[in-house]
Amino acid sequence: MTADRDSVHADSAHPAPGPVGGPASGSGSSSSDGEPTGDGSRVEDGVLLSIWVKRAHRGPMDSVDSGRLVTARGLAGSADQGRRRQVTLLDEAAWRLVVDRAGGSAPPVARRANLLLRGIHFDRGSRGRVLCVGACRLLIRGETRPCERMDEAVPGLQAAMRDEPWSGGAFAEVLNDGEIHVGDSVRWDDVATEDPHAEQQRSRETNGQDS
């Protein structure tokens, strides 16, 4: 993957090439608004806006145009690999909402997530679902809750994010190896894979804060 050396202090995400929310390859008649498909199910389509590689714990975030997701590990070259939290994801709209509520301005890179998405919403129902980013499948394991570093970006942002569950994004496990690229389609798989021990595991997890 090719890093942009000036991206650590980027003020905005990569622009999405082409129309946002158009049908992903092989997705049939689905739409970005979650309109019913031919079989009556609802499919939500989005796009991958940015990819960020974390050099180290609390280290800089490097913007890249492409990356490799590694099964059961995470984004190649990024810190915090392994275990259940292998890759972190952020919804662009949710980020802008909480930043506005905090009365400030901060680029999405300040959230320190690996992937910035448009057109995909995270909430309690996201846990245990599979999200397809390009040809890669990610199992959503939980909410990435805000840490005190959010107040470094915008005073009061941590509290604003706590008031809006899942606005800090989600963390996931990587289910298959593959390359991802800015502009890739993103969509929910229609099969949830929540394991029967998930609730017990969640009670043992830490608060999932990022840094």
What are the structural domain ranges in the chain?
A: 44-195
Q: Is the pLDDT of residue 15 over 90?
A: no
Band (pLDDT 50/70/90 cuts) for residue 5 is very low
Q: Return phi, psi of residue 101, to 5°.
A: -65, -30
Q: Is the pLDDT of residue 127 over 50?
A: yes
From CA 86, how far away is CA 56, in angstroms rounded? 14
From CA 121, how far away is CA 21, in angstroms rounded? 13
Structure tokens at 96: 């802008």
Three-state secondary-structure class, residue 157: helix
| pLDDT digit string, tens, across residues 75-110 | 999 987 778 889 999 999 999 999 999 999 999 999
Tell me what the mean pLDDT of segment 135-155 comes to.
Answer: 95
| pLDDT digit string, tens, across residues 30-78 | 333 443 444 444 455 899 999 999 998 888 999 999 999 999 999 999 9
Per CATH, the homologous superfamily of domain 44-195 is PK beta-barrel domain-like (2.40.33.20)
Q: For residue 132, what are the β-bridge partners?
A: 137, 187
**Whole-number percent of the chain with pLDDT over 70:** 69
From CA 191, how far away is CA 96, in angstroms rounded? 29
Band (pLDDT 50/70/90 cuts) for residue 14 is very low
| pLDDT digit string, tens, across residues 162-183 | 999 999 999 999 999 999 999 9
- What is the residue-averaged pLDDT of the chain? 79
